[in-house]
Amino acid sequence: MIDELDEHSLRCGLRISTAKMKIMATAGTAISLRGTQLECVKSFVYIGQRISLNRDFSEKIERRIRAGWSCFHRHEKFLSSRTVEMKYKRALFYTCILPAMLYGAETWVLTKTAERKLACAQRRMERFMVGVRLRDKKTNAWLRGVTKVKDAVSSAREREWAYWWGLAMSINVKWSREVMEWRPPLTRPAGRPKARWRDEFQKVLGTCNWQLIARAKTKKDWVDLTRCRML
């Protein structure tokens, strides 16, 4: 199969790189391409997103938090300056830092632990922007009142809901929709099931038929339901 893929790729003017090509499978297997054995991995990074067989999203979220801090430190002199108005700091935060933190948030499963990590990282950035420390004992409400930046957790949820609204409205066959609706022909093991992205829709809407509700609403009305959840 890999040889056929390589052959068709060459016809299109594309050549598969044996150095960059990775194999990820549930069972160990040896796959070679043009006489070179491809590396088998448990996870890999593709376009800034870590893809793995493990459904633990905490590692992905921690990676995005590190990316946000990396971007923050590049502009730290500007963001921590006492002479720069907060509206300019806020504009830079929206333009560079928040997108870096929430890249790929559309597919996250936000647990309470993940929400706490995002919130803690953002509050620390806001303290740098305002010029206060933990020992100053300023409340989170006071801090947000000064910075007036949008909450990262709320933004992540809005992105998630907007993405799935678009998927529900799509009439074309997409691999993302096929994966969403696919169910493994196996029995779930005993114990508490892992959190799934659709659990949030079912909790807010009170039904499993969230796609029907999404199709009956505009994108704005659908995303506004996230605010109802957080009230």
pLDDT per residue of the chain (231 residues) written in tens, 0 to 9: 777 877 888 888 888 787 778 888 777 677 887 877 887 877 777 777 777 777 677 888 999 999 999 999 999 999 999 999 999 999 999 999 999 999 988 888 888 899 999 999 999 999 999 999 989 999 999 999 999 999 999 999 999 888 888 888 877 767 777 776 777 777 877 887 777 777 777 777 777 788 788 888 888 888 887 766 555
* Nearest CA among 58, 55, 28, 60 for reference residue 41: 28
What is the model's pLDDT at position 145? 95
What is the model's pLDDT at position 142? 95
Q: Kindly tell me the burial class for residue 73, based on how many C-beta atoms sit within 10 Å of its own C-beta (0-12, 13-18, 19 or more).
A: exposed
**Could you tell me whether strands 36-37 and 39-40 are parallel, antiparallel, or unpaired per DSSP bridges?**
unpaired
What is the model's pLDDT at position 230? 54
Tell me, what amino acid is at 5?
Answer: L
What is the model's pLDDT at position 29? 74
What is the model's pLDDT at position 89? 96
What is the model's pLDDT at position 132? 93
Q: How many Å apart are CA 68 and CA 117, to the nearest integer? A: 12
Angle at 63 (CA atoms; ends 59, 69), nearest 5 degrees: 145
What is the model's pLDDT at position 221? 86
Task: State the pTM of this model.
Answer: 0.77
* Nearest CA among 170, 167, 158 for reference residue 200: 158
